[in-house]
Amino acid sequence: MKKMLKILVVVFLVAVLASQSLAFWGRGEKANKLDPGKKMEMITQKLDLSKEQQAALKANEEKRKEARKVHRAEMKKLAEQLKVEIDQDTPDRTKLHALIGKINQQRVEMEIQRLDALLELRALLTPIQREKYKKLMNQHKPRGPKGR
């Protein structure tokens, strides 16, 4: 009986540890990314931003956050429409192409907003802070294809 209990405990521990590691592994690239709040906090500390710079940075991030929500909701809606059309017995190729174009347009707009936010951040910084920011970003540069 004791031997059976030991075996069950070992099996249970192996299962728990395996599920934990698989859960972490399944997060993929997102596992290494900072959430926006922590990223802003890190930038504030490392660059020694003034209160005015912090307020402007926070306002820019809030505006961008709302725009991201809108774009993601639109992309989700378009992806659902794409799935419905693909599942049709005879999908309309023209409609599928148009939906893919709209999804890609949303991605392009999100990337443009990301770039605009970066330029707005750089405009807020002093020349010394800009140099610190460049060094900070070079430290976190992804290695290899897609950061792998």
d(CA 41, CA 112): 23
What's the pLDDT at 23? Answer: 54
C-alpha span between 130 and 128 (Å, rounded): 5
Query: Which pLDDT score is estimated for 40?
Result: 78
pTM of this structure: 0.62
Is 134 or 17 the better-scoring residue by pLDDT? Answer: 134
Q: Which residue has the tokens 């294809």?
A: 145
DSSP state of 87: T
- Record the tokens describing residue 54, joined without a space: 């912090």
| 46 has pLDDT over 60 | yes
Backbone angles phi, psi at 143, to 5 degrees: -100, 140
Judged against a pLDDT cut of 60, whether residue 29 lies above it is answered with: no
pLDDT surpassing 60 at residue 147: no
Average model confidence (pLDDT) across the chain: 80
CB 21 within 8 A of CB 15: no
**How many alpha carbons lie under 13 Å from residue 70 in its C-beta half-sphere?**
9
Least confident of 78-82, 88-92, 139-143: 139-143
Q: Which pLDDT score is estimated for 45?
A: 86
Residue 95 has pLDDT above 90, yes or no: yes
- Residue ranges with strand state E in the chain: none
How many CB atoms sit inside 10 A of residue 13's CB? Answer: 10
Report the pLDDT value the prediction gives residue 31, as an integer from 0 to 100: 47
Instruction: Give dist(CA 62, CA 68) in Å, integer.
Output: 10
Q: Which fold has domain 34-141?
A: Four Helix Bundle (Hemerythrin (Met), subunit A) (1.20.120)
Confidence of residue 136 (pLDDT cuts 50, 70, 90): confident
Query: Is a pLDDT exceeding 50 seen at residue 35?
Result: yes
Parse the chain into domains and list their residue ranges: 34-141
Judged against a pLDDT cut of 80, whether residue 69 lies above it is answered with: yes
